[in-house]
Structure 1
Amino acid sequence: MAKKKKAAPRAMTPPIPILDNAEDEDLMNDLLAQLDSKDNSMDTESAKVLNDMELNKQADNIDRDNANGKRKDPKGRFIARQARKAAALAKSYAPGNKDEDARLEREAKDEEKAINKICNDLNVHLHEINPDGHCLFSAVADQLALLGIVPKSQATYVHARKQAADYMASHIDEFIPFLPPPGDEDRLMTQEEYFSYCTTMRDTGVWGGEPEILALSKAYHVSIHVIQSSKPSIVVHEPEDMPPPIQNGRVVRISYHRRMYGLGEHYNSLRPNTSFSGALQAIMP
């Protein structure tokens, strides 16, 4: 009796990572950071993996579970938002879109030119900050150390995140009207969602924005000027409800970039072009 032939094993499709744990979130963030690499092959490979992760579908699943009550996880909404951002960036690296590549390159050059002009007018230069989710806090921390507002040992994104998050958590009425839940713009956050937002901002690599800049300004009692290529070219954040002097008139200056870096939104520190600055830079990282 003839033996039956064994069926050829079917090719196994690698499972799509699910963003349900810290390792998968770290993978997504690492791949995003690699998109900022100058190595085009690294950009393409990172974008391919991100595309394979089907991040938009995973973000939809997270939002749907929240809407259906299967999970009540405010942090999941942040992960969903990060996933959609990663998916959009990965798509922009898709090969063969020469017109889109040319447009992005042109916009990046225009942005760089505009920011460099403002820096020259202010007699400052751009000090590059590591392009990751902590860049806002790292840029502000660098400035705070230069101005002598915090010691060098505290000039880290960890300390800056904690100061911003703690201030926001203790001043809920100042911020909650401006922070609708992601994906649900028609209502305000509940207190539970708001405090979860603050915890996520303090303990993870989620991007910071306008609310966090204002919180940093108030927490450190200092004026923060954000330089950008669009109008207005200088956006001022300062604790107007606090009596002067505000850190003896000293100003934190950071730059905001939309196109210069692969991650999209990014912040750098702007250090002064002076001999005093040179002495400071000799002891700064």
Structure 2
Amino acid sequence: MSTFIQMTEVGPRDGFQNIKTFIPTDLKIKIIDRLVEAGIGAMEITSMVSPKAIPQMSDAREVIQHVLNTHPHIIPSVLVPNLKGASLASEAGIKNINYVVSVSPAHNKANINRTHAESLEDLYNIRHTFPDMTITLSLATVFGCPFIGETSRETLMDMIKFADDLGISAVTLCDTIGVANPTQTLSVLRGIQQAFPKMDIGLHLHNTHGMALACMFAGVQSGVTRFETAVGGLGGCPFAPGAAGNAATEDAVNMFNRMGLDTGISLPDLLDIANLIRSTIEPTLLSSLSRARTYSEFDFCSEKI
């Protein structure tokens, strides 16, 4: 039996929030429905943030209610930056949240206007206020920050220990600006695995320097089986002009398929969804497969070149 790779689709949150023009709620829901039909079993569907800060997420409740009512078999999650966001998520019926903290104090302040102490205090309060809620700690700027460059490995480990002491069993390492390399990825993963052998570690990679898939491969080599990606390679970072989007779901699924690993996701369906996004939301997609054919579609020639 091949290894199962858990793909969490983050396009409806991390991908859509960077689109300046408001995407109609019906279109968001249509894309989410199509992603579920393609075999996506886990999805970050929105974020609980101020609609003034991110107007694109102002329809979070409508999106959540549709997913909960229509797709009870998938694992929907939302991103929250504070206790208020977690409270709103709980009120909406969400059982899984991704709590975001930046390893870089400068990015944490710029991104969610909080110090490390304030973010960790809220994480503590969320854990004790909502003991039945499943929390994944999403650590931003693990591999680099647009303000300070390299971030502190010691701070990273301290944050994971804080979560571990609270009984939080999953962390996602986020390459917010897409600067990670495979050697660095392996080093970070091995350090965490040695210190916290029971921690479920996921990777959320951006593709600014073209190494997202290489870092995902490094993750697989170290035993990671949980990855966050966005269909079409949507996404970016508002504090890093020119930063590319997330690792594209279709590119990752194609790589895992070719490696003999199971994702349970239909690649042709993903490509159809990417085409839908190109025609309705974002005409320039960054994924490789949205611009080229899959391996099985090539017309192989018999003559030697």
TM range (shorter): under 0.3
TM-score by length of 1: 0.27
TM-score by length of 2: 0.25
Question: When you count strand as a share of all residues, which structure comes out higher?
Answer: 2
